[in-house]
Chains A and B, each alone.
Chain A
Amino acid sequence: MAQAAIELIGINKSFGAVRANRDINLEVARGTIHGIVGENGAGKSTLMSILYGFYQADSGEIRVGGKPVSIHTSNDAIALGIGMVHQHFMLVDNFTVLENVILGAENDALLKSSIAKARSELERLEREYGLEVDPDAVIEELPVGLQQRVEILKALYRGAEILILDEPTGVLTPAEADHLFRILKQLKDQGKTIVLITHKLREIMAITDTVSVMRQGTMVATRTTKETTVGELAELMVGRRVLLRVEKGQSEAGAIKLSVKNLTVKDSRGVTMVDNVSFDVRGGEIVGIAGVAGNGQSELLEAISGIRHAVSGEVTLDGKPIDLTGKADPGELRDRGLAHVPEDRHHVGLVLAFEENENSILGYHDDERYLKGPFLDIDAIMADAKDKIEKYDIRPGNPRLKTANFSGGNQQKIVLAREMEQDPGVLIVGQPTRGVDVGAIEFIHKRLIAMRDQGKAVLVVSVELDEIRSLSDRILVMFAGRVVGERGPEATEGELGLLMAGVEHQEAAE
């Protein structure tokens, strides 16, 4: 075995009563890509933050290149050649790429020489690793994929030999993720050591050499990637066998519940995002909308749920038309039996500073069930919240807890419980399992299928192709604002991928 780049021996870390890391041992060989998988809250990020000097371990030893070291601040980590690409980028949005790269690594008190040095250094890195990015571009004007590249450049500029990436693909489109993987492989070929934290098993299989699995703060196993399977890793992660494809019966499609005709939507800049889209969703079926992020799916969802006004087009709900071009409001649609689980639960779906029980009735707070005269009926709300917690296995099961303190998967369950328990005729769901761990994904998928089996119409938008394929009875593919194809659930990934990339669409146009 090659020499170890990093060794962690007996690492312990507690936050109050929560033991985030217990007796962690980890060895990462030099010049390899090492994956760390685990559900949300398994302690992966904490472990890496300890390695990067953001937190101090309560006990344990860290060795870098065989030598015991003590890492008290990020500065110590940087000096040891450890670089980190955080899940939420640590960039100053209104700075240029150059300014971000030199921040904290300036030569001297004046900027002139640092800027000149960074400029030539970035050119070198671009040549060596194919990390192209305009050094004078302002961060907030760059797409997320490029912003991430700046984070990688920042680490390399500081001489990182060991690069830690925390959930790097969570914000990327599939194409951007592929590009990232190519870069990582190139870095590996140049002798860099890479630690990849993720909960997406497919990525682990695709790119890593070895993989360690964490569960509830402990390191449960380390495997050579070639010798393991997705099934085994998933089982290790959740501690039991999980269904990666949810079993479901044949759909029994009934009457048309939701019908969209010639819908056109523009975004705030006036760019047409949804272009003359028509489709129907019947009761008892799940229609999935696949597509690379940014091809109009978000705007489509927002228009149908009444958040964004459409330019033209018509939507009928249960046979009755709704004018979406100016007067529709989400409350009216909700009253008429359309429930909406928004894509971005943090900004649209939840008020994170509220307690769980308050979020569990948000938007339905003027429902008679929750009112006692003009006042909220706290007892009824609490009972209702407890009921939902039980039914949807929301953890921790405390309705008085601040919503921000729930994990991503449980927050999503709060939103789903709220919308599904209203017994809507039509349910539209954006990114049902974004940032949600494996165990919760299975649960959410089962719930959506149960809705279908009750005869509800379900419309799902997701950028996760696997999810669309395993859930949908019919798949619509969106590209550049149009529906460019409809396929059954048996469609192959390759076939859908071509549609998503707009290939067939362009050929047809020619």
Chain B
Amino acid sequence: MDIFIAIVQILDSTIRLSVPLLLACLAGLYSERAGVFDIGLEGKMLVGAFAGASAAAVFHSALIGLGMAILMSIAFAMVHGFASITHRGNQIVSGVAINFIAAGSTIMLGQAWFQQGGRTPALQPGERFEAIIWPGADAVRDVPIIGPIYAELISGHSILVYIAFLMVPFTWWVLYRTRFGLRMRAVGENPAAVDTAGISVAWLRYRALICTGILTGIAGAYLSMVQNGGFVKDMTAGKGYIALAALIFAKWKPVNAMFACLLFGFLDAASIRLQGSPLPLIGKVPAQFMQALPYVLTVILLAGFIGKAIPPRAGGVPYVKER
């Protein structure tokens, strides 16, 4: 039974750790499906985290925090759009620039406003998103098997966790069942086809980037207002890049993206759990090895185990009407 409890706990933290990856991964899906590579997911998440924690601390409201996180993240997405759609700049350069600006400006503004070494003030209850306890969760906690699963895995997460997982079917529905989704997929494959059909390529791509901004904003808010009680410098710690890897791994499909992110989340959770505890046959494994494991596995998986991942064909290429 101890092992069962341990597994449930690992799965529980898998979910918690997957959420920011999943939101960022879906964010990347919107922009890359529309043909705009977005290496700036990391930066937008960081900006979202900072804006969310700051606004929540100042206005004493979690909702205002979330709103600011989304707004600021969209603003950065628009900068990316202005550079790479309107002015046809290099999308990678623009994305990297956004990451640098985000990393620098959050620390600088944090220090200037709050004087806590780049941190934002610790969030009080009411300024964070609290866990939602589902009806009857405490009552069934002691029921074998189902009890812990219901009480630990399903119940007891913040609203943002549920939003993240609901975004998966929602994104699928948008992509494959709506006019916007059809056009967005088309513009990522062959923008000339969209242009000759009488649809604005630029406006379509901007709208996709707005979706990206909303989702990275929520991802950032989750980091600073749920996982942590405030903003810490560089708190995204490469999650934006892992999300991009997961996106490739998922072949730019929403349901696959969820499983990819759960896998990365699980590796993360397992590495935390197994740190310091001896494994059967192998013995004690250095903590650094366990921490590196998700990244090593990413390389191995991407190198050969997923088959051919074909990116959207027009990805990374600014659209220019041919002469």
Contact = CB atoms under 8 A, between A and B. Distances in A.
- Same complex for A and B? Answer yes
Interface of A: 15, 52, 54, 73-75, 78, 84, 86, 88, 90-95, 99-100, 102-106, 108-112, 114
B190 interface: yes
Nearest to B180: A109
Given A54-B321, A109-B180, A104 B190 contact: no
Contacts of B199: 103-104
Contact of B197 (A90, A109, A111, A112): A90
Interface of A is mostly: loop
A90 B180 contact: no
A109 B197 CA distance: 16
A110 B177 contact: yes
B179 A95 contact: no
Interface stretch (B92-100, B181-189, B282-290): B181-189
A54 B179 contact: no
Contacts of B197: 74, 90, 103-105
B186 A92 contact: yes
Contacts of A110: 177-179
B22 to A, nearest CB: 25
Interface in B266-319: 313
B193 A91 contact: yes
B195 A103 contact: no
A148 B93 CA distance: 38
Nearest to B186: A92
A223 B179 CA distance: 46
Interface string B165-205: 00000000000111111110110011011111111000000
B51 to A, nearest CB: 31
Q: Which of A105, A106, A108 has the most CB of B within 10 A?
A: A106
Contact of A90 (B176, B177, B183, B193): B193
Contacts of A103: 182-183, 186, 193-194, 197, 199
Interface of B: 176-183, 185-186, 189-190, 192-199, 313, 321, 323
B177 A54 contact: no
A94 B310 CA distance: 11
B190 A91 contact: yes
Contacts of B189: 92-95
Nearest to B200: A73
A90 B194 CA distance: 8
A114 to B, nearest CB: 8
A75 B182 contact: no
A92 B185 contact: yes
A106 B198 contact: no
B309 to A, nearest CB: 14
Given A90-B190, A93-B313, A103-B193, A15 B323 contact: yes
Given A92-B193, A93-B190, A105-B197, A111 B313 contact: no
B198 A104 contact: yes
Contacts of B195: 74
Contact of B182 (A90, A94, A111): A111
B124 to A, nearest CB: 42
A100 B189 CA distance: 12
Contacts of B192: 88, 90
Nearest to A104: B197
A375 to B, nearest CB: 31
Contact of B190 (A78, A84, A92): A92
Given A109-B179, A114-B179, 8 more contacts: A54-B321, A74-B195, A90-B196, A92-B189, A93-B189, A105-B197, A109-B178, A111-B179
Given A111-B178, A111-B182, A75 B198 contact: yes
A156 to B, nearest CB: 14
Q: Which of A75, A78, A103, A114 has the most CB of B within 10 A?
A: A103
Nearest to B314: A92
30 contacts: A54-B321, A74-B195, A74-B196, A74-B198, A75-B198, A78-B198, A88-B192, A90-B190, A90-B192, A90-B193, A90-B196, A91-B190, A91-B193, A92-B185, A93-B313, A95-B185, A95-B189, A99-B186, A100-B193, A103-B182, A103-B183, A103-B193, A103-B194, A104-B199, A109-B178, A110-B177, A110-B179, A111-B176, A111-B182, A112-B177
A117 to B, nearest CB: 13
